[in-house]
């Protein structure tokens, strides 16, 4: 079951990189001195990526826990 642990770790890292990317994207948008409406639009575009990355990260962590439990 070590493949499940390593695969889950890879998924978690992929999800974490997506979360970090979305944090940086929103941070850059806030520093760009946009109007309130433009800032809302940028955040709306980043939000699905953030939620998807969070989902991938959680699935990866669950795979790690399952792999450890079954090992």
- Name the pTM for this structure: 0.86
Note the pLDDT of residue 27.
96
Nearest to 56 by CA among 19, 1, 21: 19
How many separate domains does the chain show? 1
User: Which of the four pLDDT bands, split at 50, 70 and 90, describes residue 1?
Assistant: confident
Which range marks the domain in which residue 20 is found? Answer: 2-70
Q: How far apart are the C-alpha atoms of 48 and 17, rounded to whole Å?
A: 14
What tens digit of pLDDT does each residue of 12-68 get? 999 999 999 999 999 999 999 889 999 999 999 999 999 999 999 999 999 999 999
Cα 41 off chain centre by: 20
User: Which of the four pLDDT bands, split at 50, 70 and 90, describes residue 71?
Assistant: confident
DSSP 52: H
């Amino acid at each position: 079951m070590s493949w499940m642990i390593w695969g889950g770790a890879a998924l978690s890292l992929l999800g974490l990189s997506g979360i970090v990317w979305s944090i940086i994207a929103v941070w850059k948008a806030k520093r760009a001195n946009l109007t309130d409406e433009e800032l809302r639009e940028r955040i709306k575009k980043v939000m699905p990526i953030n939620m998807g990355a969070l989902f991938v990260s959680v699935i990866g962590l669950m795979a790690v826990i399952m792999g450890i439990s079954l090992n």
